Amino acid sequence: MNDNENTTKNKPSVYYAQKKAEPERRTDHKRSGDSRKGDGFAYKKDGYKKEAYKDKPTARGRSDERTSRIETFEPKKGRVAVRKPTENSDSPWQTKIRKEPQQPSYAQKESEPALAAPQRKLAHDEVFVYSENSCKAVFKQRASSIIKAFLTEEMTTKFRDLVMSLAEKHLGYDVVSDEYMTKLTGTPHHGGVCLIVKKRTPLTALDYLDQTKKQAHDCVLAIDDINNPHNLGALIRSAAFFSAQGVILRHVDTLESGAALRVAEGGAEYVQPIRADDMAATLSQFKQQGYRVVALLPCKMKNVPAQSLFDVKFADKTVVVLFQQMNKALIQVADQIVYVSGSDVMPALNISVATGLILAQWQQRNQE
């Protein structure tokens, strides 16, 4: 065996496959109920039609009809009548034209869903007011301060007048779920209604005294170092119940909180807030105008001379000083110091309950 034969045997065998011819498409077949053309691709029944495009060369260098056609659908003319909505139509899908522009909900980020609880903080002069009685009192006393309302579906009938008033003023109101209202107010005790309201402008002591100088009877609360919103709201509720007209505060914003206004049950709308940067100086201003200052101790104290609340004779114009912890500077300004006597089992009452007792005594004195 020579070298040429060995070389020939070691070479790999190469086989070439023949390209089979594509089968011819049938052009004579038909199916019942349709009228298909012979090319098998153009459909004329029920509005189908073929839009032909020029064949584009494929990667193999040949044209492919399957990739060079687009089928579209057009409804047959005269087959389906397009109904236009009428004013008397009862269909829920009819087109509605809003006569007035819809007011947007409060500033939401574009990425947030429309019904997500608002994440932005209120402006410095705005406050959330919630619960049924509080919102009714705001609407009755200062409806012009309401900016926006949120209601659950169950409360829309009770606040029908409020909704109509907001609609007339082109102000926004949203009907939301109970879960949304809980997120909005931060509490489940929202009562199904919440208002965004402008805060009231507090008066100075001189302004308040100028307004009430002609009144024969007046009672004012001076609250020092009581920051719990629930106690504060209960104090304001008692003040409104016994016709006290003003409340002196170092920080008026503590009264303008949703929790305090809810506990007050609308009473805050009938008590005027008075700002006091210096509580002792403010009390002196009231004394100069004929008011008598009465300090209420949280409980009986050995080193402080005081008399029982039930033995005090109140003046026609009185300022009741309340504090969580005794303030010696305010004690020195007071004309009288009183306490509520009780049993040894409980050393003191809740401040709102004690305030209710002293206000009841003052009201009884004025009715005699």
Contact 236, 335 (CB under 8 A): no
DSSP single-letter state for residue 154: G
> pLDDT at position 12, please?
60
Task: Find all residues with CB under 8 Å of 352, minimum gap 6, and list them.
Answer: 231, 234, 235, 237, 238
Q: What is the pTM of this model?
A: 0.64
- Mean pLDDT across 112-122: 46
Q: Which amino acid is at 182?
A: T
Contact 199, 125 (CB under 8 A): yes
In 190-310, alpha helices (H): 205-212, 229-241, 258-264, 279-288
- Strand extents, DSSP E, 26-144: 48-52, 69-73, 126-130
* 305's tokens: 């001379």
Chain centroid to Cα 182, Å, comes to 9
> pLDDT at position 27, please?
57
| Look-up of token digits 């609360």 | 221
Residue 297 pLDDT greater than 70, yes or no: yes
* Structure confidence by residue, pLDDT tens digits, 31-42: 544 444 444 444
* Structure confidence by residue, pLDDT tens digits, 165-177: 998 988 888 999 9
- Strand extents, DSSP E, 172-313: 172-175, 193-198, 218-224, 246-249, 272-275, 292-296, 307-308
Please report which confidence band the pLDDT of residue 9 belongs to, taking 50, 70 and 90 as the band edges: low
Instruction: Quote the percentage of the chain above a pLDDT of 70.
Output: 67
Most confident of 7-16, 239-248, 321-330, 345-354: 239-248
Closest-CA residue to 353 (of 342, 366, 337, 364)? 342
Q: How far apart are CA 338 and CA 251, in angstroms?
A: 25
* Structure confidence by residue, pLDDT tens digits, 188-223: 989 999 999 999 989 999 999 999 988 989 999 999
